[in-house]
Amino acid sequence: MSAQVEPLGTKEIEDRLAELPGWSAEGELLCRRYAFGGHLPAAAMVIHIAQIQEELGHHADLTLGYNRLTVAVNTHSAGGRITHLDFGLAERIEEIAPGHGAR
C-alpha cells in the first residue's frame, strides 16, 4: 500500500457508490449495514472480513449485533477520508456477503 493515498472527490465517490448498492458515504466514512437470519452467520462474516482485511492490509470498523453487522471504513493515511482502498475492501466484502446470507 502506498504511503501517499489521495482522497476521492465527491463525484468519484458518487460514481463508485452507484456500483455498490447498499453502501453509502456517511460523512468521511464508507458504510454498509447487513442483516442476517441469526447471530452465527453475522459472526462468521466478521471473521471472513477480518481475513480479507489482513490480506489487503486495510481495516474497517466492524460492529456486530445479534443479527446485524455494520461496516464503516476510511483511510487514515489520507486524513480519514474515503479512498480507492476503501472501495476495494467494500467490493471484496460484497463478493462474500451472499455466501453468509447477508442482505
User: What SS3 class is residue 72?
Assistant: strand
Question: 0.75 cut: is pTM over it?
Answer: yes
71 in Cβ contact with 93 (< 8 Å)? yes
49-83 pLDDT, tens digit each: 999 999 999 999 999 999 999 999 999 999 999 99
User: What SS3 class is residue 78?
Assistant: helix
Task: Give the span between the Cα atoms of 37 and 90, in whole angstroms.
Answer: 21
Q: Tell me, what's the pLDDT at 3?
A: 58
5-63 pLDDT, tens digit each: 999 999 999 999 999 999 999 999 999 999 999 999 999 999 999 999 999 999 999 99
Is 67 exposed, middle or buried (CB count within 10 Å of its CB: 0-12, 13-18, 19+)? middle
